[in-house]
Amino acid sequence: MIKGVSNNRAWLAVVPVVLVVAFSAVVPLMTVVNYSVQDIFDVDTRLFVGLDWYRETLRDPRFIDALLRQVTFSATVLVIEVPLGIWIARALPRDSRATSAFLILLAIPLLIPWNVVGTIWQIFARPDIGLLGVSVAALGISFNYTGSSVDAWITLILMDIWHWTSLVALLAFAGLASIPSPCYQAAMLDGASTWQVFRYVELPRLKSVLTIAVLLRVMDSLMIYTEPFVLTGGGPGNSTTFLSQYLTSMAVGQFDLGPAAAFSVLYFLLIVLLCWLFYTSVMRSEADG
């Protein structure tokens, strides 16, 4: 029989992985943490400042505004995209020749580079030449996303819905397609209404895919950068400046490395916290239900 062999050289086998993870994740992250507690003047002149940058960031009204905008934006697109995606998935034909055509159509927005999405909508919504902008203007509604912050928000949310609802719809469709037909037959014989079929047959079986869909949308929408950057540049004023864009202007534009690093750490923690809260609440209700 083989006894447990003590061989410390075996640890060498793990070294490559440790190195890769260190270089890809730990070192960059710790660099940011390191920056966030120092005031850096140049390569040789730096000053330890403790949590000053964190305090400053949390008191910065522009950070607070960007954070509120961010949360409002994420909540809005989530509330629209998830039900809409489920609705589209339910409306799609199953097992027909048209099914794959619809799926390909749905997948198209997901395949377009994000800056191109921004460009498409930047042109599409223009009141002078864009199809959407001109059509709305023709109805007698004044619409200008470069001038009005409400119009900018509407355009941005429409763009995000156009871009990302497909993701929810495709995931929900995959979930629906995996429900065996006897489940529907039984509900029909039990006299269930269309709403009850959705509520008691489909929704419980969609729970896991919808958890993934919501998690992905929460993370992605909190990190949104490219599309508003291309579409509105954060304006008019700061009305569509979200966290990532404010952070970039701080770090790259003004080269405030210390505050930007503190901001980054807070931003990172916020996303992790929100996803963790959501995930644990879903898992807890799973255990109860």
Q: Is 204 left (phi over 0), alpha (psi -120 to 50) or beta?
A: alpha
Task: Look at the chain and count its residues.
Answer: 289
Q: How many CB atoms lie within 10 A of CB 243?
A: 24
The contacts of residue 265 (CB under 8 Å, 6+ apart) are 32, 33, 36, 54
Contacts with 59 (C-beta within 8 Å, 6 or more apart), sequence order: none
Cα distances (angstroms) measured from residue 143 to each of 5, 93, 135, 146, 150: 75, 36, 10, 9, 9
- Is the CB of 199 or the CB of 284 nearer to another protein? 199
Give the nearest distance from C-beta 289 to another protein in angstroms. 6
CB of 200 to another protein, least distance (A): 4
Nearer to another protein, 174 or 203 (CB): 203
**Contact yes or no for 64/145 (Cβ under 8 A):** no
Interaction site with another protein (CB under 8 A): 180, 182-183, 185-193, 196, 199-201, 203-205, 289
Decide whether 113 or 182 has the Cβ nearer to another protein: 182
**Complex with another protein: residue 64 or 174, whichever CB lies closer:** 174
CA distances from 12 to 15, 25, 27, 44 (A): 5, 20, 20, 36
Compare residues 188 and 273 and give the one whose CB is closer to another protein. 188
In terms of CB distance, is 170 or 206 closer to another protein? 206
Q: Shortest gap between Cβ of 104 and another protein (angstroms)?
A: 24
Least Å distance, CB 177 to another protein, is 17
223-to-47, 121, 219 alpha-carbon distances in Å: 30, 19, 6
Q: How far is the CB of 22 from another protein (least distance, A)?
A: 41
Query: Smallest distance from the beta carbon of 30 to another protein, in angstroms?
Result: 42
Tokens 């495709």 belong to which residue? 170
Which of 209, 121, 102 minimizes the C-alpha distance to 163? 121
208, two tokens: 């896991």
Between residues 174 and 186, which has the closer beta carbon with respect to another protein?
186
CB 66 within 8 A of CB 244: no
CB of residue 81 to another protein, shortest distance in Å = 23
**Closer residue to another protein (CB): 200 or 225:** 200
- Smallest gap, in angstroms, from Cβ of residue 204 to another protein? 4
Q: Which residue, among 259, 272, 281, 229, has the nearest Cα to 32 in the 3D structure?
A: 259
